[in-house]
Chains A and B, each alone.
Chain A
Amino acid sequence: MNSIYTLMEHIGIQGRVNYEMDLDLIFKKLIQKQITYQSDNLGLNLLISRLQLRYSNNRTEEELERCLQDCPLCERSSQFG
């Protein structure tokens, strides 16, 4: 959880946000390497790297959506409040 907030702070998202929509957008941008991201969270770093690599080998909207669905932090759940 802390990594998500760190990530959001890193890319300058402040204030009240629509977590559902903005998280999807953030992760899509991450997967497409349109924004940079670094953290000390091993699992997140490896996962995002893997999704970035997968997308770079198949740069389609369908693959982007599949990568997004494979990102467990993008689940629309109460964990994000």
Chain B
Amino acid sequence: MNPTVGWISGFDLSTDSEAKVYDGSSGESYGDKAVALHICLPDDKIASLGIVNIFDIDEQDSKIEFPEDTLAVTKCLVNGKETFLADFIFENGINTQLPLVADYNGTYINVSIKSVSKENKTVDLYAPVFAGKEYRFAKPVSDYAKSFEEHLQGFKDLKPIFSCNCVLNYLYGKLDGKATPPFAGPVTFGEIAYQLLNQTLVYAVVLDK
């Protein structure tokens, strides 16, 4: 496997801009490409990616499934019953700072809420949900900033060569002016560790084989 780590280009969300990458040699910009740095490691080393995700799920909570892969959800199945996800959020007073979470064989992967429209009954997401996966809203976190700091304690002996943290962690976790050791990378839109993630800190370490 070729570990892939990085982030989505940022842009001002209050404008109609789009994420872009730039070819520095020509000045040309692209909205549908990526810039990739390919790194060769010595034969005795291997790159390993990890994540810091402060969110957990309660298996007893409502199970949510989607009929198609999408970034904009209207109808879904909540415990097998067809419902508008927007209605479910409003009727249950769900805090939209909490992401949807799916269990990928022991790794919890988040999908963050971008916006909820009562009129259009649409929920826009920062990453797609996938048909066939089971999601639940994350368990509430009483103190986002404190929870993030506590989770970082488990990584204090790590020596990452790269990391990036989600801008939502920065905003919701009130990280302005704060350090997050051992991680010191950028705060970004849409962090990538093999795939697009949300509300997650991703990191890479180099290990001996």
Contact = CB atoms under 8 A, between A and B. Distances in A.
User: Is chain A's binding surface mostly helix, strand, loop or mixed?
Assistant: helix
Contacts of A49: 104-105, 133
Interface in B82-117: 104-107, 109
B178 to A, nearest CB: 25
Interface string A44-55: 111111000100
A48 B105 contact: yes
B30 interface: no
A63 B3 CA distance: 24
Contacts of B193: 42
A69 interface: no
A15 interface: no
Contacts of B130: 53
B105 A38 contact: yes
A12 interface: no
A56 B131 CA distance: 10
A46 B194 contact: yes
- Range for the number of chain B residues in contact with chain A: 10 to 19
B194 A43 contact: yes
B49 interface: yes
A11 B96 CA distance: 38
Contact of A43 (B49, B109, B132, B133): B49
Interface string A24-36: 0000000000000
A52 to B, nearest CB: 8
- Range for the number of chain A residues in contact with chain B: 10 to 19
Nearest to A56: B132
A2 B105 CA distance: 16
A57 B132 contact: yes
A42 B194 contact: yes
Give the residue among A37, A40, A45, A48 with the most B Cβ atoms within 10 A. A45
A42 B1 contact: no
Contacts of A40: 106-107
A37 B106 CA distance: 8
Contact of B105 (A37, A57, A72): A37
A57 B194 CA distance: 21
A75 B107 CA distance: 24
Interface of B: 1, 3, 48-51, 104-107, 109, 130-133, 193-195
6 contacts: A38-B105, A39-B106, A42-B50, A46-B104, A57-B131, A72-B1
Q: Which 7 A-B pairs have the closest CB atoms?
A: A38-B106, A49-B104, A45-B107, A45-B105, A45-B104, A46-B194, A53-B132
